[in-house]
Structures are given as C-alpha cells and as structure tokens.
Chains A and B, each alone.
Chain A
C-alpha cells in the first residue's frame, strides 16, 4: 500500500502540486486549504497590529460573519469599517480583481458604516507600488466609497504601508 506523504511538512507549492495530481484526496486538499487560511490569518494579524499602532485609542473588533472585516470604535463610539483585502498574486495587472472588489464593496459594505478604510495587502514593495497606481487609476476611493492604504507584509511578519 502506498503511504501518504506528511502534508504538514510540505510547502504550499508542493501541496498544490499534490492536490492537482490527487484530486480525490480530501485530506490533501484540506491541508492545502488550511495552509492558505494560516497565511491569511498571519497577514491579517500583521495588519491588525499596524492598525492598533495607527489608532492607539480605538478598539478593533472583527465582524464575525464577514471575511477580513473589522470595526474601529473610538472613545465616543464612532465606528469605522476596515476591510483587509489581499491582492498578492504576481499577475501583470490586478485590474479585474480591483473591479471585482469594488463591486463587493458597493454591494455589501456601503450602508453599514459611514466611513470605510480598505487595507490592501500586496506581495512585496514593488508589487504594492504597482497596485497603488492601479487603484488610483481605477478611482478606487470614489467608486468604492472607501479610503485606502496599500502595503505588504515583510519577512519579519510586519505590515509596511507604502
């Protein structure tokens, strides 16, 4: 009988290749999915740390039913929505994702809070700068009705705004 590899020690790239070659292996797929969730959770906490530094007197809470969505509440009870958006692929353009994301924002988020901040998490500084200009070009703040910042998570796990 073939023994299965230890999915826990495999890299994300290895797991992806394994999942594509063993499409009926649920265990492999779950291990792969979990790896991606872990990476999202780690990047999310980096952004939360950064947000706390930026807004030392505000409470940050997660909106449980939504992915990567938080609320900043100040001392007077004013609330601001914060959406963390990961655009970390190295594609030549991110425009289709930006358009999708604007649609998502308009559909669900607009009415909940008066003001929104979107934190875009890119792959690295170079990609973040490119994403920044694509967002400007797409007129993101006016169309999605949200202010925004772009940054990336460095090797130390720290979020850096560009």
Chain B
C-alpha cells in the first residue's frame, strides 16, 4: 500500500508532526515520537 505524501509539517506550538497523505489521511505524531492519531 503506497500513498502520496502531500505535507509533512511540525506544529512548533506543540512539537507535534503532521503528515498528510493520500486523499484523506492525516497522521499525527507527538513530541515523544508516538503515533497519536490516524484519521
């Protein structure tokens, strides 16, 4: 399963990293490097 990645961005307010991929996928990694949310 491969999806195009459209955006990788740090929310510098919180230290979270957002990855936007495919049509709808939103992945959120927290400052500990843990997967918080995939939506």
Which A residues are closer than 8 A to B by beta carbons? 13, 16, 19-20, 23, 29-30, 33, 36-37, 39-40, 65-68, 85-94, 96-97, 100-101, 104, 108, 123
Contacts and interface: CB of A to CB of B under 8 A. Distances in A.
B35 A104 contact: yes
Contact of B37 (A29, A66, A88, A104): A88
A29 B32 contact: no
A88 to B, nearest CB: 4
Interface residues of B, number: 24
Contacts of B25: 89, 91
A59 B34 CA distance: 25
Contacts of A104: 33-35
B35 A100 contact: yes
A108 B34 contact: yes
Contact of B39 (A68, A86, A96): A86
A16 B38 contact: no
A91 B1 contact: yes
Nearest to A16: B20
Contact of B28 (A36, A96, A123): A36
Contacts of B13: 30, 33
Contacts of A29: 9, 11
A40 B6 contact: no
Contacts of B11: 29-30, 33
In the A-B complex, the 5 residue pairs with the smallest Cβ-Cβ separation, listed nearest first, are A86-B37, A67-B30, A88-B39, A67-B36, A89-B38
Contact of B38 (A33, A66, A87): A87
Nearest to B11: A33
A85 B36 CA distance: 7
Interface in B1-39: 1, 6-7, 9, 11, 13-14, 16, 18, 20, 22, 24-26, 28, 30, 32-39
